[in-house]
Amino acid sequence: MASNALIAKDRRQQRVRKKVSGAPERPRISVFRSLNHIYAQIIDDVAGNTLAAASSMEKDFGGKGGNRSNKETAKKVGMALAERALQKGIKKAVFDRSGYKYHGCIKELADGAREGGLEF
């Protein structure tokens, strides 16, 4: 049986997804956060393609072990995602927080993407 926290997260995710959709001219930035890592990707929902992605599991974000799901790492992932998006000609996007509260690592990832040059 699902816990109340998971049910609440699923409801938030459904509520956000009703309003947020990625198009070729303005794709969607989707975020996933686990206990140890944070992942972000830019998705064109019309074509069903992932255009760019970044995560804290890449070699650039530190060595083996340790918690890499903190605010500093999230900001670096956001900046890396923005850099890869700009290389592909993507300047505007919509932010899909995937049901997570816009707080902490999720907020830092969004701020990093904005600092990197993405508009949303």
> How far is residue 73's CA from residue 36's CA, in Å, rounded to a whole number?
11
Q: What is the residue-averaged pLDDT of the chain?
A: 86
- Evaluate if pTM is beyond 0.85: no
Residue 91 is predicted with a pLDDT of 94
Say which amino acid occupies 32: F
C-alpha torsion 98→13→18→93, nearest 10: -10
Which of 40, 48, 46, 49 is closest to 83 using CA atoms?
Answer: 40
Residue 8 is predicted with a pLDDT of 86
CA distances from 37 to 43, 57, 65, 116 (A): 19, 7, 11, 20
Q: Report all structural domains of the chain as residue ranges with CATH numbers, in order of start.
A: 4-116 (3.30.420.100)
